[in-house]
Amino acid sequence: MANLCNLDGVIVPEAEARISVLDRGFLFGDSVYEVVRTAGDVPFAWPEHFARLRASAAALRFDLDLDDGPLARRIAATLTAAGHGDSYVRIVVTRGTGSAPNIDLACATGRPCWAILVRPLASISGKPTKLAVIDRLRNDRRALDPATKSGNYLNSVLGLAEARAAGATDCVMLNAQGFVTEASTANVFALVDGAWCTPPLHAGILAGVTRRLLIDFLRDSGDDVVERDLTVDDLRAADEIFLSSSLRDVAPVTHLDGRALHDGKSGPRSLQLLQRFVAHAAQLVTARYAPQWRTLLAAHS
C-alpha cells in the first residue's frame, strides 16, 4: 500500500507531495516535527507528542495554527486512507513559505505548512545497537537547544555518519562539559552499580517520550533509576547500556567503541526490560491512549 502524505489537509501519495522552494523548513530547517508510531489506528502517547510539538514551536517563536483536535482528525483520515495497520507517522510543521529566501522573520509572511507522512511501521523495536562515542559534540543548550525537536538535524546526521564510519550503528554525543548527552535520535540509559542511569535534561538532550515513560515504569516497578550526569568512563564501566525512542522502545547496546559487551549479545537486563516495557506499552494503549484518542476525535467530528 502507498506511503501517503497529508499536506495542509490534502492527502496525496508521498512521492507527489510538493512544497515551495521558499518554504523556510526547506531553506533553513525552520520547522518542528514529531515521530509517532501507532498501535493499529491509535497513535502511541499522542498527548505527550503533541505537547512536545507545541513546546518546540514555542521555542522557535512560532504559533501552531492547528490544535490537537483538528490535527488528530487529519492524522486519523490519513491513517484510514493508508490502511497500513501499525504505522509510522511523521508530523512536520514548517514556519511556512516566506516572501524571500532571507532568514529575517520579517520575511516569514506565510502560514505554517503541515505535512503528515504515514508509512507502514518497519519495526526496529529492541534492535541491537553498536555504539561509538564520537568527537562531534551535541549542540549547546544556548545555541540550538536539543530539547527543541526542530527540523535542523544536521548535527545528528553528521554524528551518525561519524559513528557509521567507525563501524558502529549509532553515536553517543558528549556536551561541552564532557558529559554524555544522547544518541543521534534516541536517549541513553546505562546500568551502573545496579541502577539505571540516564543523563538529566540539563545535559542538553531531547526530553524523550519513551525516556519519561521508562523512568516512570522503572520507578513504579521498584527498579533503581537515576537521572544524573554520566561520563564516558561510566559508560565503559556500565554493566549494560540501551537506547530508548518511540521506534526502538528499548534497544540494547552490544558494542561500545568496537568492544563487545556481554559477548556482543543484548544484555539480559535490557532484554528483560524490553519485554516488560512492550507489554506495559500495550496496556497503556488499551487503558489510556486509545480512549484518549477516541475522545479527542469524537470531540472534533
Ligand X SMILES: Cc1ncc(COP(=O)(O)O)c(C=O)c1O
Residue recorded with cell 561519524? 162
Tell me how many residues contact ligand X (CB under 6 A): 14
CB closer to ligand X out of 108 and 273: 273
Could you tell me how many residues make up the chain?
301
Q: CA of 270: how far to CAs of 176, 202, 277, in Å?
A: 29, 25, 10
Q: Which three cell numbers stand for residue 94?
A: 514548517
CB closer to ligand X out of 27 and 215: 215
Q: How far is the CB of 25 from ligand X (least distance, A)?
A: 16
CA distance 208 to 212: 6
CB atoms within 10 A of CB 283: 10
Q: Which long-range contacts (CB under 8 A, 24 or more apart) does 293-299 make?
A: 293/42, 293/43, 293/46, 293/72, 296/46, 296/68, 296/69, 296/72, 297/69, 297/72, 297/73, 297/76, 299/69
Residue 84 has, within 13 A of its CA and on its CB side, a CA count of 25
Q: CA of 39: how far to CAs of 124, 237, 249, in Å?
A: 14, 37, 13
Site for ligand X in 138-197 (CB under 6 A): 156, 182, 185-187
Torsion of CA 128, 134, 139, 145, to 10 degrees: 20
Q: Quick one: which segment of 107-115, 203-211, 219-227, 287-295 binds ligand X (CB under 6 A)? A: 203-211
Q: What is the DSSP letter of 239?
A: S
Q: Quick one: which segment of 86-94, 226-234, 244-252, 257-265 binds ligand X (CB under 6 A)? A: 244-252
Q: Does 208 participate in binding ligand X (rule CB under 6 A)?
A: yes
CB closer to ligand X out of 24 and 248: 248
CB closer to ligand X out of 108 and 174: 174
62: buried, middle or exposed (CB in 10 Å: 19+, 13-18, 0-12)? buried
Q: How far is the CB of 111 from ligand X (least distance, A)?
A: 26
Q: How far is the CB of 67 from ligand X (least distance, A)?
A: 21
* Contact characters 18-37, ligand X, x per CB under 6 A: -----------------x--
Q: Does 87 participate in binding ligand X (rule CB under 6 A)?
A: no
Closest of 18, 46, 19, 24 to residue 34, by C-alpha: 46
CB atoms within 10 A of CB 108: 22
Q: What is the DSSP letter of 150?
A: B
Q: Quick one: which segment of 20-28, 112-120, 231-239, 243-251 binds ligand X (CB under 6 A)? A: 243-251
Q: Quick one: which segment of 116-124, 202-210, 259-267, 281-289 binds ligand X (CB under 6 A)? A: 202-210
Q: Does 201 participate in binding ligand X (rule CB under 6 A)?
A: no
CB closer to ligand X out of 131 and 206: 206
CB closer to ligand X out of 152 and 245: 245
Q: Does 76 participate in binding ligand X (rule CB under 6 A)?
A: no
Q: How far is the CB of 97 from ligand X (least distance, A)?
A: 26
Selected from 180, 209, 253, 261, the binder of ligand X by CB under 6 A is 209
Q: How far is the CB of 56 from ligand X (least distance, A)?
A: 11
- Chain residues binding ligand X by CB under 6 A are 35, 156, 182, 185-187, 206, 208-211, 244-246
